[in-house]
Structure 1
Amino acid sequence: MSTLPFEKSAGPLRRPPELGELQEQGPVHPVTTAVGDPAWLVTGYEEVRRLLADDRLGRAHPQPEHASRSGESALFGGPFGNFDTEQADHRRMRALLQLHFSPKRMRALRPRIEELTTALLDEMEAAGSPADLHTALALPLPIAVICELLGVPYGDRDRFRAWSQAAADVTDRARSERGLSDLFRYGRDLVARKRAEGDPDADVISRLAAADGGDDDEAAMLGMSLLFAGHETTVTAIGMGTLWLMSTPGQWEALAADPARIDATVEEILRGFGLGGGGLVRYARTDLDVEGVRVRTGDLVLLDTGAANHDPAAYTEPERFDPDGSVAPHLSFGHGARYCIGAPLARIELSVVFGQLVKRFPAMRLGRPLEEMTFDPKTLTGGLTSLPVNW
């Protein structure tokens, strides 16, 4: 039986060899998680896609104290929510948030995202080559965007960034719980401040506070969940997208020469940046069969969207970065009722970032060999800790 996480000996832009071997054997595998618990790892594209939309799986567990865990993160490593009311709670939450993250609202943000990106690139260019693209752009831009959207003071970024990283720690439960508690307490204070200001249309958190019937705890929880999810994965996607484009011969130059390639390039970045070896935590709400495997009620099922996005059954050359080649739509934002509500915003941010980068710095290149890049293994997204570039 395989044990997670897999060894990434093939490099940062290749599937772990053990994962590739498992995919050759089939789409569903018994594994032991990083904390020693049993789970089912689903790696096949069609199977992951189908199960993402299967309401027989959920985030809650009938006996949470006995549930298997994928890691020590208090928010993402184990069960979440009330088993009896989970589906109704999720529908209500989606209905509450959908209006605030509609594609139309997100498109209206594009000029501001362009303005913020330009300002950060101005600063980076003025400082001169070499630069760390992580600290100059990949990190501050998503934080600035989500702060303006939600109504979170940008000046608080160092604090909530530290709490977010602590909450996402997959190795230290106590640190994760403290980070989550600090983030939630900050959210409650922010909701109370928004109520006192009395402008329900000022920003998303103000609208959540006004619409949520006076439930400060729920408004704080939703607001802080959006704050975390709204910047962490985009930071990682910008970094990994840069690695893919600069490490694949001709791709940076092709995008610079033909800006019309940006949408396809963004989708390929989204497909490529998660290589698999983990998965979205789900628990079986009833007994079910998955490709001949009997999954019992309460079993932990890890839906590995990264593995699915690199499944040879769905992609002819899954490890090749090729905006012209992908046919199956990637699953990086999920599928079905839990499809990521922030997908339109993430796509716009990536489009603006790479559209401006290649136009402004057509000769930009990595400042360090790919194999020397460093990543944070403690956090959920496992993103780059720095991204040196030259131009």
Structure 2
Amino acid sequence: MTHRLPFDQPDPLAVPPLLRTLQEQGTIHRIRTRVGDDAWLVTGYAEVRSLLDDGRLGRSHPDPSRAARSGESALFGGPLGNHETEKADHRRMRSLLQPHFTPGRMRAFRGRVEALTANLLNELEEHGSPADLNTALALPLPILVICELLGVPYAERTRFREWTQAAADVHDRSRSEQGLGELFAYGQELVARKRRDPGDDVISALCATQGVPDDEIAMLSMALLFAGHETTVVQIGLGALLLLTHHDQWQALLKDPAMIPGVVEEILRMPGKNGGGIPRYAHADIEIGGVTIQVGDLVMLDNGAANHDPSAFPAPDRFDATRTTPPHLSFGHGARYCIGAPLARMELQVAFSQLVLRFPQMRLAVPVEELRLRADILTGGLDALPVTW
């Protein structure tokens, strides 16, 4: 029997039971994607880590019209980029963006993120208990942060949030394509504004870089806008849920705030995902796990499953902020390691260190069984996170 993604995930924090079963059977599996196309699913830590940095895999496809799709999203559902120039294009993109997301720059920006977080938690306290932590903190904080970095007006968040959500739709390709088109047009509009009135922000800096066309700046800026808030929204929500369901970790963090970096790494590793991970296309035949991946095949590098591989993470379902195991793969690995990783880590550290200290008695307002994961968009995450204190 060939299993089809997404896998049923009864517990929002646990690996889907079917994914755990597959992982016990081996490290690579023939599956069908959510649109019914054939693909390989790689679930072992060593194999996923190796393939993430394997030059024989890429986001482009030699014959895009015939490529298998992982979903209907125009962003990640199918092949991206020019097959002939993908590696050079990727190096150019990273060289343009990486200087704006170095650990040093993020340290300099931390004070501002701390102030934004404090303001949101002040509003949460004023609102009173109960409240939805998703709408109070998880959603607005990453949007505020990425808006400040890029130079995007926070007042326009309703517009671009609607488009990013549409672009991430995994079921409706026409909606996804329209959302992506609207987002790109918005990027062009922002670039034109920065040409007229530059500021101290990433889009203005890209506009000041010689030889970068405005359309490329618009595309890169909107990719950052999407990636810079959608995934962090999810991680703050699921991370808060992890801490709220592991009272011992919440109390330990209260007693020793220096634990926060380790807590954040476990929050990044721990949440189960309903199968899939990072899509790649084979640019050459690859022998792995006793099978041959052929040129053009779709390969799903399941970093969520890899993060729960017991050969790399003893007792992988245990939330343990003191782990000394290999690094998790939530930000990828190798040449395509997430540019925004320093920003995401810093945001999560600030958010949870302040949340726990400000609301030491916070607890879930509903049973965990009542919480729902979003299955309609690429990044997933919780619908809501009701809390009380």
TM-score range normalised by the length of the shorter chain: over 0.9
Tell me by how many angstroms 1:274 deviates: 4.4
2:266 corresponds to? 268
Shift, 1:110, TM fit: 0.3
Displacement after TM superposition at 1:203 (Å): 0.7
Q: Residue by residue, what CA displacement relative to the aligned partner does 1:334-388 show, whole Å, maximum 9, x if unpaired? A: 0000000000000010000000011111110011111101221101111111111
Other-structure match for 1:14: 14
Moved more, 270-279 or 358-367: 270-279
**Whole-angstrom CA distance in 2 between matches of 1:7 and 1:189:** 41
Amino acid of the residue matched to residue 270 of structure 2? Answer: G
Give the Cα–Cα distance (whole angstroms) in 1 for the partners of residues 324 and 30 of structure 2.
Answer: 29
Matching of residues 122-161 of structure 1 within 5 Å? 122-161=122-161
Tell me how many residue pairs correspond in the alignment. Answer: 388
Alignment match, 2:242:
244
2:323 is aligned to 325
Shift of 1:214: 4.9
Query: Cα distance 1:281–1:103, how it changes in 2: closer, same or farther (>3 A)?
Result: same
After superposition, give the CA deviation of every residue in 1:79-126 in whole Å (9 maximum; x if it has no partner). Answer: 000000000000011111111111111111100000000001001101
Match of 2:296 in 1: 298
Give 1:264 shift: 0.2
Name the CA distance, whole Å, in 1 between partners of 2:56 and 2:237. 35
Say if 2:12 and 2:271, in contact at 8 Å, map to a contact too: no
Deviations 1:250-292 (A, max 9, x none): 1111111110110000000000134351111100011111122
SS at match of 1:180: helix
Q: CA deviation at 1:13?
A: 1.4
> Which of 205, 208, 219 pairs up with 2:206?
208
Counterpart amino acid of 1:354?
F
2:60 maps to 1:60: yes
- Which of these residues, 250, 253, 264, is aligned with residue 251 of structure 2? 253
Q: What secondary structure is seen at the aligned counterpart in 1 of 2:6?
A: coil
Structure 1, unaligned stretches of length 5 or more? none
Answer yes or no: is the 8 Å Cα contact 1:305–1:331 preserved in 2: yes
Distance in 2 (CA, whole Å) between partners of 1:280 and 1:58 is 11
Corresponding residue to 2:221 among 219, 223, 234: 223
The offset of 1:326, in angstroms, is 5.0
SS in 1 for 2:208: helix
Decide which of 351, 354, 361 is 1:353's aligned counterpart: 351
Letter of the 1:64 partner, please give it: P
Give the letter aligned to residue 230 of structure 1: G
In structure 2, the residue matched to 1:309 is 307
| SS of equivalent residue, structure 2 residue 106 | helix
Q: Separation in 2 of the partners of 1:242 and 1:314?
A: 25
Given residue 4 of structure 2, which amino acid in structure 1 is its aligned partner?
T
Q: Give the aligned residue type for 1:91.
A: R
Q: Which amino acid aligns with 1:185?
A: A
- Residue 85 (structure 1) aligns with: 85
CA contact (8 A) 2:106 2:343 kept: yes
Displacement of 1:212: 5.3
How many Å apart are 1:249 and its aligned residue?
3.5
Runs of 4+ in 1 over 6 A off after TM superposition: none
Counterpart residue identity of residue 310, structure 2: P
2:218 is aligned with what amino acid? A
Superposition deviation, residue 325 in structure 1 = 3.2
Alpha-carbon separation, structure 2, partners of 1:133 and 1:356: 13
Q: What TM-score do the two structures reach when normalised by structure 2?
A: 0.98
Equivalent-residue separation in structure 2 for 1:152 and 1:273 (angstroms): 30
- Which residue of structure 2 aligns with residue 176 of structure 1? 176
Match of residue 233 from structure 2: 235
Cα 1:274–1:202 shift into 2, 3 Å: farther
Task: After superposing the two structures, state which structure 1 stretch, 202-211 or 177-186, moved more.
Answer: 202-211
Structure-2 separation of matches of 1:30 and 1:80: 23
TM-score, normalisation: structure 1: 0.98
In structure 2, relative to structure 1, the CA distance for the partners of 1:341 and 1:167 (3 Å cut) is: same
- Give unpaired runs (5+ residues) of structure 2: none
Counterpart of 1:27 in structure 2 is 27
For the 8 Å contact 2:16–2:272, the answer to whether it is kept is no
**In structure 1, what is the Cα distance between the partners aligned to 2:343 and 2:13?**
25
Other structure's SS at 1:298 match: coil
Structure 2 counterpart SS, 1:114: helix
